[in-house]
Every structure is written in structure tokens, then in C-alpha cells.
């Protein structure tokens, strides 16, 4: 057994590498620079931790995740890795101890923030610690073309100047080709070994639902899944607080998280979530980058995200343990209006255009009757032609309804009002509203006035949503979001093409099939034993004051409940159990299994 596979089993408890991991580790051990785009849950941390164990010297991990550094260090230590972090939260005594260990070569893995590296003279100080490898995590923060650009990351362009012969590896979960090129250029990587792992997260089920009463829709879903931890993203701080308050009143253990809270409040709420003391965290995008919690079973977006990169990374926080999880997006045409309002406030024309393209990508994703996974992968230039079998479209949860006549009514109303009005006005025309605005323009006399009074407003809003998504009409953001007809729309209007709509656009309901893949179908799983193992994990975690997933992941506990090991050697066969965890936890968990 080679050294990397030996470390993989003895330290991490796995018998085989995931795709690309072994090649990435090999390149680093050979002294090469590396660029890796690997989805969340793909195992990128292992790609720098194993070199950190094998190489003779210090591995530095640059990470912006100050709030999570302690968890990352605790997790590494639980596997027997000598790890530390340096950031502004350290006490004077802890700092003295860590620097003493660094000078005495007792640290294998050092997590450090880019802000700390940017301090005057700090890179020179780092050179005193025999740095053998540098890993830059969340590397997309370097690029202005990325969705989460951070100016403090630009200082990392000096790393190669100070450490010209030290291999540098950049890791990110989301990077278009443009962002990739930007990262390689800024970090001055020399002939890097490049890995663009598949963005396909097979364990994630993607579902888009019509947004009507979004708070009750979210609450109903959570009540149907009472034991599953999840994240809910809202676009504004106000909506975050409103949603968390609503869920609490419905008896759901939820807390909110946004940049307007103090550091202490954010840290406290995040720890409650990590420690399974609350079920749900409601947050803006200020929450989430680099979350270590492995058992997040669902991610809900209550509003349309700003970009596909952001959406992909946020949904990727579900199912990090590889178990089936659900990603739900609630969508309505009103989301487009909100996003366009914010986009129109942007003064830089280039940035404004970029944001409009991002918005259009998300609108298509939400409304086109095309495999959700296919749309995500093709956005990241990854071809995908098959039926994924794990989204609402491919599972026929978006049943098609013939809607040509109703589409023609909407298109005709838009045309007869000179393509000069927005969604609400057109619906008023169709439903025969008797308003001053309509009468003053004589629009109560046109042929389409009142032609759709037999159906409610929600129906017509759904038709317009579909027309926008299928690019039959568009909202002109330069002219107050008035509706305009495209050539594709003209084909519908004049009978040259048919128009079909998704049933879920109007109902917002979920067919039971959508969760069939989420039901634990593992034969032989002793659920009573599994619960006993989880309770013991929670007890140990509280004693050690660490999140439960640092002791064992849900996946490891399920494997334990299936294999039912009765000896230490058997315990070592459980996926995710390395030698240190076998020695520390085997004597605790084995009696739970043998004394059934």
C-alpha cells in the first residue's frame, strides 16, 4: 500500500479515494502547483490534509472562514492531525503556545486568514516555519469575475514572490473558465496541474416551486421533515428575520443569521445549528461559505438568487456526507422585479450587464421545462445530455398542460396595449378590471379586455411566468419592466407554435415522488440502534464542546448500524473510522452495539 492510501485508511478511515483526489495529492507531493475546481462535498480538504501529513514541514491553509477555523482544527485533531489556527479570536496565551509549537516544528496544518497574511511583514515571519505547501481555499474570492470577490484576497498574489519554490494549490467549489484563468494568473501558478471535477452532485434533488404564501410553504415543508437540518436563504435581512420569527411561532427550532448581527450573535446562532440544537438556520448569503456541517438535508431558497454560481454553492451545502438531500427554490415573477430594482442601482455599466446575465440564467433555470441539473452543468461548461432522474423535471413532477390559447390571450393584450405595460396591468386587462387607469386609456374597449375573467389572478401570473421563462416575452428593465414580445412569442401569437406550461407553476405543490429518493432504503438498517448511536454522539460532542459531526458523520453512524462491529478490528472497517477514532471511540460505541 502506498503512503497516500495508507494515510487515507489509518487517519481518515476510507479504503479508496474519490474521483481526482489521488491525482491532486500526487501532483502536490511532486512539488507542482495545482488548480482544483471541485464541488462542495467532493473532498477537497482531504487533498491538502494528506500532503500536510506526509510532507516534511508546515502546510498553510489560507481560509476566509474565521468563524469556522476552530471547527476545522477540531475536526483535524479528532483524526490525530496536529493542527492550529491563527486569527483575531486567539487569546495572548494561545498565540504564545501556537507560535512556540510552530518554531519547534510541532504543527502539521496551520489555518490562517488572508487578513493576517496581509499584515506588514507577516509573510517574512511565515518563512521562519519551514513552509512546505500552501493551500488557498475558497480561491474564487480572488477573482472580480467570481460571485464572492474579496479585495483582501488580492494580497495572496505576493505568495509566489515570497515562496517561489513552494507548491501552491488553489481550491474552489465554483469557477467558470474565466474565473479559473483569473485565479491562476493572480496566484502566479507555474504550469499548474488543473482539475475541473464534475459539478454534478448526484445526491441533490433540485425542485422549483411556485411562490405564493412562501412563509407557510416553507413551514409546511419543514413540518413534513421534522428531523432534518436545513438552511433557508432569503434575499434581505428583513425577510430573514421575518421568516425565522414565523417558523419559531410555528414551533420550529430556528434562528436567523445576517451581517447586521454582532459577531457574537452570529457565532452563537451558527454553533446552535452546528450542534444540532436548532433544526433550521434562516440566512442571507452572509452565511454559509465553507460550512463543515455534513448532515444538512435540505436547502431552501425563498427568493431567486443573484447568480448561478451563488445558487450552486449555496445548494451544495446540502448532502456533504453524500446522502440524498433536497434543494428547493420558490419562485415568482415578482422576484425578477426585485432583482432588477437592485441591478438598476449599480452605476458601473459592465457590472450591471454582468448582473443582468446572471439574473437571466436563474430565470431560465426556474421556468424552463428542461432538466435542472442539465442547466446547472451547462452553465459551468459541462455537457450533460441524459435524464438525471433526480430533479422535478426529469421525475415528471412538472407535468405539462396545453396553454396555447391562454398564452395567445396574454400576448394579444400586450400587443394591443402597444407593449407599454407591466405584468399587473396586463393581468388587469385580461381579467376585465374596471379601473380609472384602464378607462382613461380606453383599454376597456380592446378585444382582450375581460377575456380571461373566468380564471383567477394567480393563473394568469403563472402564464406570464412561463412565457418569460420560455423567452416568449421579456421584461424591459430599461423601461420599468414593461412586457415585450420576442420572435418566439410571435410564433405562439400567430399560431405557428404551441405553448405548454408546467403544472407546478400554478399549484406550488410537490408530488410525493420528489421525496422517494430521500427515503432511507438501506435494507437491514437498525433504526433503534442508529438513534442510540446518535444520542451517544451528541453526549460526547457536548462533553468535548464540538459539533456532533466532528465525532462521526451521519453516514459513518449509518454504516456502523449496518455492520454492527463487535471488535476493534471490526470497528476499523466502518467507513470514516481511522485508527485514532477506533482507539478513542471503539470502547464507547461497541458496547452499545453488543448489548442490544
Q: What is the 3-state secondary structure (H, E, C) of 265-314?
A: HHHHHHHHHHCCCCCEEEECCCCCCCCCCCCCCEEEECCCCCCHHHHHHH
Q: Is residue 386 classed as helix, strand or coil in its secondary structure?
A: coil
Average pLDDT over residues 100-116: 93
CATH class of the domain defined by 400-509 = mainly alpha
Task: Please give the full DSSP string across 400-467, using - where no structure is assigned.
Answer: EEE-HHHHHHHHHHHHHTTT---HHHHHHHHTT---HHHHHTTGGGSTTTTTTTTS-HHHHHHHHHHH
Residue-wise pLDDT tens digits, 300-317? 999 999 888 889 989 989
Sign of CA dihedral 283, 284, 285, 289: negative
pLDDT band at 512, cuts 50/70/90? very low
Whether 342 has a pLDDT exceeding 60, the answer reads yes
**Which one of 1.10.150.80, 3.40.50.300, 3.40.190.10, 2.60.120.1060 gives the CATH number of domain 527-594?**
1.10.150.80
Mean pLDDT of the 43-49 span = 91
Q: Which CATH number applies to 204-379?
A: 3.40.50.300
Per-residue pLDDT tens digits for 485-508: 999 999 999 999 988 876 655 555
- For residue 133, what are the β-bridge partners? 59
* Rounded Cα–Cα distance for residues 268 and 278 (Å): 11
- How confident is the model over 17-44, as a mean pLDDT? 91
Cα separation, 458 vs 110, in Å, equals 55
Report the distance separating Cα 41 and Cα 291, nearest Å.
10
pLDDT, tens only, 540-576: 999 999 899 999 999 999 999 999 999 999 999 999 9
pLDDT (mean) for 111-115 = 90
Residue 516 has pLDDT above 60, yes or no: no
The domains spanning 3-196 and 204-379 adopt the same CATH topology: yes
pLDDT at residue 517 in the model: 41
**Hey, which bits of 9-129 come out as E strands?**
34-37, 58-62, 83-86, 109-112
Which among 160, 127, 157, 120 has a CA at the least distance from the CA of 33? 160
pLDDT at 452: 93
Residue 93 vs residue 285, higher pLDDT: 93
Band the pLDDT of 372: cuts 50, 70, 90: very high
CA distances 384 to 122, 370, 375, 387, 462, Å, are 46, 12, 9, 9, 28
Percentage of the chain lying above the pLDDT 70 cut: 93
According to CATH, the superfamily of the domain at 3-196 is P-loop containing nucleotide triphosphate hydrolases (3.40.50.300)
Please write the tens of the pLDDT for every residue from 241-285: 999 999 999 999 999 998 888 888 888 898 899 889 999 999 987
Task: Give the model confidence (pLDDT) of 391-423 as tens digits.
Answer: 988 887 655 678 899 999 999 999 999 999 999
Helix (H) or strand (E) holding 558: helix 554-563
Q: Where are the domains of the chain?
A: 3-196, 204-379, 400-509, 527-594
Of 2 and 7, which is predicted with more confidence? Answer: 7
**Cell numbers of 235, please?**
434575499
pLDDT higher than threshold 50 for residue 513? no
Residues 147 and 269: their CA atoms lie apart, in Å, by 25
Q: What mean pLDDT value characterizes the chain?
A: 88
Give the position of cell 446522502. Answer: 323
The answer to whether the beta carbons of residues 84 and 73 sit under 8 Å apart is yes
Q: φ, ψ for residue 58 (rounded to 5)?
A: -100, 135
* In the block, residue with C-alpha cell 440502534: 529
Report residue 540 as a C-alpha cell: 460526547
Identify the CA nearest to 379 among candidates 506, 509, 206. Answer: 206
Does 519 have pLDDT greater than 80? Answer: no
Contact by Cβ (8 Å): 462, 211: no
515: pLDDT strictly greater than 60: no
User: 145 pLDDT band (50/70/90 cuts)?
Assistant: low
Which has the higher per-residue pLDDT, 456 or 58? Answer: 58
Summarize pLDDT for 179-197 with one digit per residue, the tens: 889 999 999 999 999 998 8
- pLDDT: which is higher, 328 or 289: 328
Sign of CA dihedral 264, 270, 273, 274: negative
Amino acid at each position: 500500500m502506498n503512503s497516500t492510501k495508507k494515510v487515507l485508511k489509518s487517519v481518515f478511515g476510507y479504503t479508496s479515494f474519490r474521483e481526482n483526489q489521488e491525482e491532486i495529492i500526487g501532483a502536490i507531493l511532486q512539488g507542482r502547483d495545482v488548480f482544483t475546481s471541485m464541488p462542495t462535498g467532493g473532498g477537497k480538504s482531504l487533498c491538502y490534509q494528506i500532503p500536510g501529513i506526509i510532507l516534511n514541514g508546515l502546510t498553510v491553509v489560507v481560509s476566509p472562514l474565521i468563524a469556522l477555523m476552530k471547527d476545522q482544527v477540531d475536526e483535524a485533531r479528532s483524526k490525530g492531525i496536529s493542527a492550529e489556527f491563527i486569527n483575531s479570536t486567539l487569546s495572548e496565551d494561545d498565540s504564545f503556545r501556537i507560535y512556540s509549537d510552530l518554531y519547534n516544528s510541532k504543527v502539521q496544518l496551520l489555518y490562517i486568514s488572508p487578513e493576517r497574511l496581509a499584515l506588514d511583514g507577516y509573510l517574512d515571519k511565515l518563512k521562519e516555519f519551514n513552509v512546505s505547501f500552501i493551500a488557498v481555499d475558497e480561491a474564487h474570492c480572488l477573482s472580480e469575475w467570481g460571485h464572492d470577490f474579496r479585495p483582501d484576497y488580492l494580497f495572496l498574489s505576493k505568495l509566489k514572490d515570497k515562496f517561489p519554490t513552494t507548491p501552491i494549490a488553489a481550491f474552489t467549489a465554483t469557477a467558470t473558465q474565466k474565473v479559473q484563468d483569473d485565479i491562476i494568473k493572480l496566484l502566479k501558478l507555474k504550469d499548474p496541474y488543473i482539475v475541473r471535477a464534475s459539478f454534478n452532485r448526484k445526491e441533490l434533488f433540485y425542485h422549483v416551486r411556485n411562490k405564493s404564501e412562501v412563509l407557510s410553504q416553507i413551514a409546511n415543508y419543514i413540518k413534513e421533515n421534522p428531523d432534518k437540518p436545513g438552511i433557508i436563504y432569503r434575499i434581505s435581512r428583513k425577510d430573514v428575520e421575518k421568516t425565522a420569527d414565523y417558523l419559531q411561532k410555528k414551533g420550529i427550532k430556528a434562528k436567523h443569521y445576517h451581517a447586521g448581527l454582532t459577531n457574537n450573535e452570529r457565532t452563537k446562532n451558527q454553533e446552535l445549528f452546528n450542534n444540532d440544537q436548532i433544526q433550521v438556520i434562516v440566512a442571507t448569503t452572509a452565511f454559509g461559505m465553507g460550512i463543515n456541517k455534513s448532515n444538512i438535508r435540505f436547502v431552501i431558497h425563498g427568493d431567486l438568487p443573484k447568480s448561478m454560481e451563488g445558487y450552486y454553492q449555496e445548494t451544495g451545502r446540502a448532502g456533504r456526507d453524500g446522502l440524498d438531500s433536497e434543494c428547493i427554490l420558490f419562485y415568482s415573477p415578482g422576484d425578477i422585479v426585485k432583482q432588477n430594482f437592485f441591478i438598476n442601482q449599480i452605476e458601473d455599466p459592465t457590472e450591471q450587464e454582468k448582473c443582468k446575465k446572471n439574473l437571466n440564467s436563474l430565470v431560465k433555470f426556474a421556468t424552463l421545462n428542461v432538466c435542472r441539473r442539465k442547466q446547472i452543468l451547462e452553465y459551468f461548461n459541462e455537457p450533460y445530455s441524459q435524464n438525471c432522474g433526480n430533479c422535478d423535471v426529469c421525475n415528471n413532477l412538472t407535468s405539462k398542460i396545453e396553454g396555447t390559447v391562454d398564452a395567445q390571450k396574454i400576448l394579444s393584450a400586450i400587443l394591443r396595449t402597444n407593449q407599454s405595460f407591466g405584468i399587473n396591468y396586463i393581468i388587469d386587462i385580461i381579467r376585465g378590471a374596471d379601473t380609472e387607469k384602464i378607462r382613461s386609456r380606453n383599454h376597456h374597449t380592446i378585444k382582450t379586455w375581460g377575456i380571461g375573467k373566468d380564471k383567477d389572478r394567480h393563473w394568469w401570473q403563472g402564464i406570464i411566468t412561463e412565457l418569460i421563462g420560455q423567452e416568449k416575452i421579456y421584461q424591459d428593465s430599461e423601461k420599468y419592466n414593461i412586457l415585450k414580445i420576442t420572435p418566439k412569442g410571435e410564433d405562439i401569437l400567430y399560431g405557428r407554435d404551441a405553448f405548454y406550461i408546467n403544472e407546478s407553476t400554478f399549484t406550488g405543490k410537490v408530488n410525493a415522488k420528489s421525496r422517494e429518493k430521500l427515503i432511507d432504503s438501506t435494507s437491514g438498517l437498525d433504526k433503534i440502534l442508529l438513534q442510540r448511536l446518535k444520542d451517544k454522539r451528541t453526549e460526547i460532542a457536548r462533553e468535548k464542546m464540538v459539533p456532533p459531526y466532528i465525532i462521526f458523520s451521519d453516514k459513518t453512524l449509518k454504516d456502523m448500524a449496518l455492520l454492527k462491529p463487535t471488535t476493534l478490528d471490526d470497528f476499523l472497517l466502518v467507513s470514516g473510522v481511522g485508527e485514532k477514532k477506533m482507539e478513542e471511540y471503539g470502547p464507547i460505541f461497541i458496547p452499545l452495539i453488543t448489548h442490544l
